Chain A
Amino acid sequence: MAITKTYRPLQTLTLSGSATSVTFSNIPNSYSDLILIYNGTTTANIGVSATLNGDTANQQRTFMYGSGGTKDGGTGGPREVIYSSTTMTTAIVEFLDYSATDKHKMILCRSGAAGVITLASINTWQSLTALNSISISPNSGSFSLNSTFSLYGVIA
């Protein structure tokens, strides 16, 4: 998230009730990167997975996290881009060069919930297709009232 770049707001949703998923569609390919900002809660402390262009496969993930006094890292949960909590959570998910048709997509993810978890991961989506749809959903339960999802395009 280089500060010399400019964000252009693409779309925002604030939930008026609970939701099991949130989907951004018709994403234009006119930006260099996409940034998804999540500010919300879930009905459980739980990973949130992404489906990209309807593809539920072809993703890999390496992560590290701290929770209380425990720290660890590893691979797995290949589609998880956010870890959300029952207490207020903020996450920043960056989709780099998302419209490229000659490279796999890199996704930089950070989530933070005070007293619960801090998590960072780098995910890859092994696709040569331009990303035009992002759907995210908790691995169980739902997003809660007032959770906010904002998508920005980054102008290089």
Chain B
Amino acid sequence: MVHLETESLAGTQASVIFNPISADYDDLLLIVNAKSSRTNSPRDNLMMTFNGVGGTSYGNQWLEGTGSAAYSSAQANTSSIQVTWALSADFGSTTAGIYGSTKIYITSYRNSLNKSIISDQTAIRNSTDSHSAIQGSLASITAPITSISLSPENGSFLIYSSFSLYGIKKGSDGVTTVS
């Protein structure tokens, strides 16, 4: 796993774009630790697109825990991937210094098939209020992924939000076999 790029915000910013993305790897891992400027809720969704493609190219399925209940839901034919409850928000009672944490794994980003993504995310508000989710997503994009665009569903990313991209390469150690 090789670190490709990290963006740590020095101020408020509407979106973060990784572009171009090296074609030297097989999978990508994106780590997001971020907060949005949304003020009417303690949490927000992270919206993600690839290659500038919108339309109806995306879908997802997630399972969410709120601390007292569980929910399941899916979306189809959306213009971006909603990474559900991936961001903390600038709600009045959100503890200062707390940011949502998200790990997004993108498999086979250079192949000619639709792209499949799995993610774990937590939008934490304080020591007693956080929503966590696991999610599978699909991008009906057969071109190699060359750029990733990220934005909050509401408002902008706040200062100190950070975004790190890693490349993962497949291969053989010459010992392990597979059949």
Q: Is B176 an interface residue (CB 8 A)?
A: yes
Instruction: Determine which of A22, A92, A116 lies in contact with B61 in the assembled complex, contact meaning CB atoms within 8 Å.
Output: A116
Is A77 part of the binding interface, using a Cβ–Cβ cutoff of 8 Å? no
Which label, helix, strand, loop or mixed, suits the secondary structure of the A interface?
Answer: strand
Given contacts A9-B173, A13-B178, contact A118 B1 (CB under 8 A): no
State whether A90 and B172 are in contact (beta carbons under 8 Å apart), knowing that A3-B166, A66-B63, A68-B72 are contacts in the complex: no
A8-54 contacts to B (CB < 8 Å): 8-13, 22-28, 37, 39
A128 at the interface (CB under 8 A from B): no
**Complex contact A87–B105 (CB within 8 A):** no
Contacts of A69 in B (CB 8 A): 72-74
B137 at the binding interface (Cβ < 8 Å): yes
* Binding stretch for chain A, among B110-118, B122-130, B153-161: B110-118
- By secondary structure, the B interface counts as strand
A151 near B105 with CB under 8 A, answer no
Can you name the residue of chain B whose Cβ is closest to the Cβ of A4?
B1
A103 CB to nearest B CB, Å: 22
B42 to nearest A CB, angstroms?
A: 22
Q: Which listed residue (A6, A70, A151, A152) contacts B178, Cβ 8 A?
A: A151
Contacts of B61 in A (CB 8 A): 66-68, 112-118
Q: Is the CB of B168 within 8 A of A7?
A: yes
Which B residues are in CB contact (< 8 Å) with A68?
A: 61, 72-74
- Please give me the residue from chain B that is nearest to A152 by CB atom: B168
- Taking Cβ atoms with an 8 Å cutoff, the residues of B that contact A are 1, 26-27, 29, 31, 58-64, 70-74, 76, 103, 105, 107-108, 111, 113-120, 134-138, 164, 166, 168-173, 175-179
Give A contacts to B, CB under 8 Å.
1, 3, 5-13, 22-28, 37, 39, 64-71, 73, 87-92, 110-120, 146, 148-153
